[in-house]
Amino acid sequence: MKKHCFTYPSIIRKAAGLLQGAFLCSVLTVNAQNNNDFALYLAPNATLYVNNKANLSVFNNVINDGTMGSVKGVTINMYGERWRNGVTASFPDEWGVNNPNSFSGVGGAFRFFNSSSPQYLAGGFSVTTKTGGAFPNLLVANPRGLYLDEGTDTHILGTLHFEDGLLWLNGNNLMVGKNNPGSITGYTENRFVATGNTPKGGNLYRAKLSSATGSVVFPIGTQAGSYAPVSIMFNTSTPQDLHTRVFDNIYRNATIGPTGSPASLQQTWNIGQENNTQVPSIVAFQHVVDREGPAFTTHRGNSYVSKYDFTERTWDTLGPSGLSNPGIYTTGPHIRGAFINTRVFTILGEDNFLTKTADTRTDSITLAKAALTPVRQPDGSYRVTFVFLLTNRGNLTANTVQLLDTLDKVFPSPASFSVSSIQTSGRLVANPVFNGTTNTDLLLPASTLPIKSTDTVTLVLNIITNKKEGYYYNTASLKGTLNGYNNTQYVFNNRSVNGLTAPATGAAPVTTPLILSPAKYQMQEGMSPNGDGINDRFVIGSLGNNRAAIWVFNKQGILVYRNQNYKNDWDGTNNQGGPTSNQRVEDGTYFYKVVVTDVANGSEETFYGYLSIWK
């Protein structure tokens, strides 16, 4: 490194400011690419002040081992690639070098801008020893990013303001504030402190949080597109420094072990206070939807903030903590695709790892829906029956059960429909004013679904196609609540799966098809297997030589008969094992599914229907 130093008189007034003291040097440095770069070098004991009559622009790299003072309202524009503070660097304001009031963040603003390349800042500070220089205010205006560099931390006494781009910690720490948290302004989902994407690394520190400081926002994220700010209310009269970082993953053991969990947010926050004193805190965590696991998205309404317990070596489990949307931790417009969860802590601790988890127990509530084979009426309309199977496999009763079906979207003009009847079983209560348009809930609020139960709702419609025959498609939804331990409430909102059996836990929704056209095959609606030769067997009319497969279920959705090569010969005998195997089924109403394969062309048609059996 070659220095070219110039001695100035004790005080020289320049257009750029006021220069005091010994040496200001031009330094030839060699960078990692072995290219020669000139840097502005401020020697130890040298003092450069920028007064309130002019701003200063620097187009070279900067090496500061001296004192660079500024007064309130001025801007030092840094256009060079690198700024490095030595251990003797300082940044006083107009009170002067020897006045302790000069280091309170009221001086000028150091603005980093370069539209063509990233910039690098070695702050020369240590958050561990609290020693080193501190910028009064710093502005990030580089769309390609400002990176902390050379393994040193950076300290900003007053305000960190974002105009453009990210401030990358790059494995280093950033402290904002001194006797208070300072200010961070201009942050949005596109402008924030990027902590990086590794479990360990640099942190954003805010100084001296207390009850008096209120909620303090830490505008952090891992990288572009992954903004995850935190807001902390630290309720103590004894202020402490707090730090946060975030990384895009969840590990089984906080920072090690297998990664990923479908029911968790794919993101982990690391938060700590100065010491382990017990301080009540309220912490709000904001995330973007892109960081959600698939099961988390489904059960987002039942999510909560989970803390890793290093003693138990597991993530703790809570009830839903309440969810809010949109994201409000931004100085720009609220973020529609962001969600906030809050957790109250009696103690944050010095090094905590936290994520978000969604309780999936509402997967135990499922909804199946089938359209039985339509019956054409003499006037050309169709009697259509939909059967809903509501199943609760869990250990909590479902309350305030809603079964929602918007029929005017299923049968648009010129088709029309009317409700003929609604029948329910168990503790489900039919809504007598359901019409599928202005009132779309088939059930009354008193409806419940007990644990380990399956109940049914049967909806009968009259459909007039007005010559619009063909396929119609319908999906219903099942909503309600589960009340858990200590009055914890879980909300479920599950969509229907096509069929007559209870779907698997967590099954994806499947639309129920309905064909309104003259039937090719006729399915009987009842049989009386008593040996009198009349309706003793279930017969598929016009089956001929075509192949048929049949499944028959009772009202609980239990399969009682199955035949993959049906010959119109079922007499009501159970062929599915169990205590009633090879015995006639009880009288009652059963559901069937029939698949007929045309032997001429291999095409298949599926039929669903009711079958009443009496002896």
Task: Check residue 120 and give its pLDDT.
Answer: 97
What is the reported pLDDT for 580?
81
Same domain, 450 and 396: yes
With the C-alpha atoms ordered 490, 491, 495, 500, is the resulting torsion angle positive or negative? positive
What is residue 546's predicted lDDT score, i.e. its pLDDT? 92
Q: Are 438 and 487 within one domain?
A: yes
CA distance 310 to 313: 5
Is position 213 within any domain? yes
Q: How many domains does the chain have?
A: 4
pLDDT at 463 over 90: yes
Going edge to edge, which strands form the sheet with 11-14?
11-14, 17-20, 47-50, 67-70
Half-sphere exposure of 83 (CA within 13 A, CB side): 27
Residues 169 and 202 in one domain: no
Distances (CA, A) of 324 to 48, 228, 248: 50, 14, 21
**Cβ neighbours for 548, distance < 8 A, ≥ 6 positions apart:** 540, 565, 566, 594, 595, 596, 597
* Claim to verify: residue 25 and residue 137 sit in the same structural domain: yes
Q: How far apart (Å, rounded) are the C-alpha atoms in residues 472 and 535?
A: 32
Residue 22 has pLDDT above 70, yes or no: no
User: Left (φ > 0), alpha (ψ -120 to 50) or beta: where does 199 sit?
Assistant: alpha
Q: Is the CB of residue 163 less than 8 Å from the CB of residue 306?
A: no
SS3 77: strand
Q: Let me know whether 163 and 223 are in one domain.
A: no
Query: Distance from CA of residue 593 to its chain's centroid?
Result: 39
Identify whether residues 270 and 352 lie together within a single domain: yes
503 plus 532 within the same structural domain: no
- Does some domain include residue 549? yes
Q: Answer yes or no: do 374 and 479 share one domain.
A: yes
Top mean-pLDDT range of 13-17, 136-140, 301-305:
136-140
**Following CA atoms 31, 34, 36, 40 in sequence, which dihedral angle do they give, to the nearest 10 degrees?**
10
- Confidence grade of residue 25 (pLDDT, cut at 50, 70, 90): very low
Rounded CA separation 56/78 (Å) = 9
Q: Which residues are bridge partners to 345 per DSSP?
A: 281
For the cut 50, the answer to whether the pLDDT of residue 33 exceeds it is: no
pLDDT of amino acid 574: 94
Q: Is 398 a member of any domain?
A: yes
Whether residue 168 lies inside any domain: the answer is yes
Which one of 178, 205, 228 terminates a domain? 178
Of 510, 538, 573, the position where a domain reaches its end is 510
Round the CA-based radius of gyration of the chain to a whole number and report it: 36
pLDDT in tens, 525-569: 889 998 888 889 999 988 888 999 999 998 878 899 999 999 999
| pLDDT score recorded for residue 172 | 96
Percent of the chain having pLDDT more than 70?
91
> Looking at residue 483, what is its pLDDT?
80
Q: How far is CA 499 from CA 324, 554, 582, 614, in A?
A: 35, 14, 26, 25
Q: What is the pLDDT of residue 34?
A: 38
User: Could you tell me if residue 177 is left (phi over 0), alpha (psi between -120 and 50 degrees) or otherwise beta?
Assistant: left
Same domain, 397 and 505: yes
pTM of the predicted model as reported, rounded to 2 decimal places:
0.68
Question: 233, 219, 230, 242: which is closest to 268 by C-alpha?
Answer: 230
More confident residue, 456 or 301: 456
- Tell me the torsion sign for CA atoms 502, 506, 507, 512: positive
Per-residue confidence (pLDDT) for residue 4, from 0 to 100: 38
d(CA 102, CA 609): 85
Is residue 515 in a domain? no
Token pair recorded at residue 85: 């503070």
Whether 144 is in a domain gets the answer yes
- Closest by CA to 383, choosing from 438, 459, 443, is 459
Say which CATH number the domain at 350 has. Answer: 2.60.220
The pLDDT of residue 144: 97
Both 552 and 490 in one domain: the answer is no
Which residues in 123-182 belong to E strands, given as ranges?
135-141, 146-148, 154-164, 167-168, 174-176
Query: Which structural domain range is residue 244 located in?
Result: 195-359
Residue 188 belongs to a domain: no
Domain boundary among 482, 510, 538: 510
Per the DSSP assignment, residues forming a β-bridge with 41 are 25, 63
- 183: in domain: no
Mark whether 32 and 137 lie in a shared domain: yes
487 and 578, same domain (yes or no): no
